[in-house]
Structure 1
Amino acid sequence: MSTPVSARPATAALKTQDRTIDAAPALEVEGLVKDFHSGGLFSRAAVRALGGVDLAIRKGEIVALVGESGSGKSTLARCIARLEKPTAGRILLNGTDVLKRDRFQASREYRSQLQMVFQDPFGSLNPVHRIEHFLTRSLTLHGKAGTPAQLRTRLDELMTTVGLTPDMLNSYPHELSGGQRQRVAIARALAVEPEVILADEPTSMLDVSVRIGILNLMRQLRDEQGISMLYITHDLASARYLADRIAVMFAGELVEEGESLDLLANPAHPYTRLLVSAVPDPARTGSYDPHERAALRAAVMESASCAFDGDPEQRCSATEPVRHRVGDPANEHWVRCHLYRPPATAASHALSAEPLESAERPDTPPTDESRTENKASS
C-alpha cells in the first residue's frame, strides 16, 4: 500500500536557493480515488480515473503535476476543489479533513482558503460583465469588500498585483488579450486571500510570447505572499522553470515524485523517461537513440510496467509496486515501479523525513524550442 501523506514526518523546512519552504503541509491528499460510472441504470460500469493518489504541498511551495492528457491531472484538481466528489480518500487543508464537512455549508469557507484558476481564459469570464464585476463579486461573497472606498482600493491593488492597470476594471473580457484575461482570473482567485491555488494548465491556451509573464507572476505570488500552488501541466520546460517539486501521473496514479531539477536529470520510471526524452534539448543533439525510445515506449505500454493490468501472470498485475528511493537516502526523490533497479551499492529506502536540498532554480525562462506538447505519443 502507498504511504499516507500524514504518516510522513516533516521535521525541517525545505531549503532552496533564496528562500525556505515551511515543512508543514498546506494541502494533503491521502488515498484519493475517483470512479466515473457509465452505462444504463442496471448495467453501470465504473471507470477508475484516480487510483489512490497521495500528494502533499508545503506552505509556500509550488508542485507541478505532469502527465499526458487523460492521465487524471484535472480530475485530481477538481476533486481537491470539491467540484467532483471523490469515491474514497481524504483531503486535508491545514490538517482538517474537508470531506467530512458538509459540501455546501463549508464551501464558502473552504474556497476562501483554496482557489482554482482554470485552463481556458476565454470561457472562465462571463462576456456580459465588466472586469470590475468579477473581482467585486468575489470580495462581496467572502465578506472582504468593506466600505466603498476600501473596495475601490482593494480592486486597484488586485489589478496592480497581477500586472494590469486599474483602468482595465471598466473593460469587458473581449477587450482583453488571452494573457490579460488569465491575469484577471488570477486576480479573482487572489481576491479572497487563499492559502492554496490550483492552476489547471493556466498557460496552455496562451501564446508563447505571453506564457512567461504568467509563470513569472505565479513565482512572484509564491515568493512574496507565500501561496502554495498545484501547477498542472504537460510542459516539462515550464514545470522545471516554475516548480519546486514535480509529481508524475500515469493512468490515474503518481508513479514518480522529486525535486524538479533532480527528477528531470535522473528520471527513474519508464514513463518519466519517455516524457523527458520527448522534450527538445540542444544539449542532447546527436545522442538521440530511437531504439532506446522504442524500448521506453514498450516498457510503458506493455503489461510489465503497468500496475493492475489484469494479467495475473505478471508481477505488476499481482502486487502493487512499492516506493523506491532514487539516489541519496536524504533525497525526496521516489519512484513506484517494479522495473526500477536501484544501484548495487544503494538499498531501496522508505521515504525519509529528511529535507531535500534543492539545486539552483533556473532563472532563464523556457525557450520556444523547449516548450512542447509533451505527450508520450509524440
Structure 2
Amino acid sequence: MEVRGLGKTFPIGGLFSRHSVRALHGVDLSIGRGEIVALVGESGSGKSTLARCVARLEKPSEGAILVDGVDILKRDRFQASREFRSQLQMVFQDPFGSLNPAHRIDHFLRRSLAIHGRGGAGTEQRLEELMATVGLQADMLDSYPHELSGGQRQRVAIARALAVEPQVILADEPTSMLDVSVRIGVLNLMRRLRYEQGISMLYITHDLASARYLADRTAVMFAGELVEEGESLDLLANPAHPYTQLLVSAVPDPARAGSYDPVRRAALRQAVMASTGCSFDGDPDQRCSADQPVRHQVGDPANRHWVRCHLYRPRAGAGGHALAAETAPQGAARKASA
C-alpha cells in the first residue's frame, strides 16, 4: 500500500465565519507486503485521521491511495467498494465499543464472511479456524462481548478483520485500552500474522516501546505531517527531528531520576493549520525557517532514515552531509533505551 500527498481539511465555523482547519498535509507513506510500519505522535497529530482516510471512513481532500499500484480514490470515486474492503481492514482502539453487545461473537465473524461472499458449506470450519488463529476457543463463539475480557474482545476484532483475508490491516492503538499483562499477547499475535499470512500493517500507537518491538519502520507525525521516518531501532536510538527527540525524552528513564527536567512540550507555529511553512516552533537558536522543510537523509542510507527539518540542510562545501552531528542530542541512545 502506498499513500501519496494525502491531505485532509475540515470545515469549521458558522455560515458567515466558515473556514478550514488542516488535519493532514502532504503525507507520503508506503507499506511493503508483510511489513509493519508504526505511526507515532501525540494526541491530535493526525494519526487516526490518516487511518480513517486510508480506510475510506473519511474522504481525503487531496492525494492518492494505491493498493497494488491501483489508485483507490480514482477507481472508487464516491465510496469504498467491497473489493477494497476485502483488501484492507481496520482494528479500532476500543474493543468495548467496536463490538455490538446485543450479538454473540458468532454473529460478527459469520456476518463478515457472508457480506464478502465467503460463507457456505465450510462456514463452521472457517469460524473455528479464525478463533484458533487469534488464540481463542471455538466455544467462545456462543459468548456475548461482555462475557469476554478486554484482550479477548480485541482478538475477536482481529478475527473479524482476518475473516475476509485482507492484504493490509490498519490497527489504531489496538492495545491502549488493554492491561499491560495482555498487551504483549496481542502484539505477538499481530507479529505472527505478519510472518504466517504475509499481512501488512499500519500500527498506530503512543507507545514507543511497542513500536520498537513490533514495527520494521517507524514514522513520526506532527501537526498532520510526517517529520521523520526510518527503521525502528535506528530512529528511536538516534532521533533527529526536535519533535522526535521530545517524544523520546518523555519516556520514563530511571537513569534520569533525581536530575529530571520537566519535559518541554512541542509547540506549533501560530496559524500552522493554514501555513505552508515548518509546523514546529523550535527555539530561536535552532535557525528554523518559515519555508516548508524537505526530506534529508540521516546516517546510513541503508537504514532509510530521513528527517524533514531545516537543521539538516546540507552545508555549502560539506559534500551534501546533513547537520546530524551538530543537532543530535547527546545521550539520545540512552534515552531511547527506556
TM-score, normalization: structure 2? 0.86
Aligned to 2:123: 151
Aligned to 2:5: 31
Comparing 66-75 with 319-328, which one deviates more in the overlay? 319-328
Label 1:289 to 1:345 Cα distance change in 2 as closer, same or farther (>3 A).
Answer: farther
Aligned to 1:240: 212
Aligned to 1:135: 109
Instruction: Verify the 8 A CA contact 2:267 2:280 in the aligned structure 1.
Output: no
Report deviation, 1:219. 0.3
Report deviation, 1:290. 2.7
Aligned to 1:229: 201
Aligned to 1:274: 246
Task: Describe how 1:89-128 pairs up with structure 2 within 5 A.
Answer: 89-103=63-77, 106-128=80-102
Question: Which residue identity is paired with 2:220?
Answer: V
Give percent identity, aligned residues only: 75
**5+ residue gaps in structure 2?**
323-336
Give the Cα–Cα distance (whole angstroms) in 2 for the partners of residues 82 and 142 of structure 1. 17
SS in 2 for 1:318: coil
Report deviation, 1:278. 1.0
Aligned with 2:295 (options 323, 348, 354): 323
Aligned to 2:43: 69
Question: Which residue identity is paired with 1:30?
Answer: R
Give the Cα–Cα distance (whole angstroms) in 1 for the partners of residues 234 and 314 of structure 2. 16
Does structure 1 residue 255 correspond to structure 2 residue 227?
yes
Comparing 153-162 with 272-281, which one deviates more in the overlay? 272-281
Report deviation, 1:346. 6.4
Comparing 221-230 with 35-44, which one deviates more in the overlay? 35-44
Instruction: Verify the 8 A CA contact 2:6 2:24 in the aligned structure 1.
Output: yes
SS in 2 for 1:186: helix
Does structure 1 residue 84 correspond to structure 2 residue 55?
no
**5+ residue gaps in structure 1?**
1-26, 350-368, 371-378
Instruction: Verify the 8 A CA contact 1:309 1:317 in the aligned structure 2.
Output: no
Give the Cα–Cα distance (whole angstroms) in 2 for the partners of residues 276 and 221 of structure 1. 28
TM-score, normalization: structure 1? 0.78
Report deviation, 1:280. 2.0
Give the Cα–Cα distance (whole angstroms) in 2 for the partners of residues 70 and 301 of structure 1. 13
Aligned with 2:261 (options 278, 290, 306): 290
Aligned with 1:190 (options 162, 185, 200): 162
SS in 1 for 2:311: coil
Task: Describe how 1:343-354 pairs up with structure 2 within 5 A.
Answer: 347-348=320-321
SS in 1 for 2:76: coil
Give the Cα–Cα distance (whole angstroms) in 2 for the partners of residues 258 and 287 of structure 1. 32
Aligned with 1:165 (options 137, 140, 143): 137
Question: Which residue identity is paired with 1:347?
Answer: G
Give the alignment's Cα RMSD to 1 decimal: 2.7
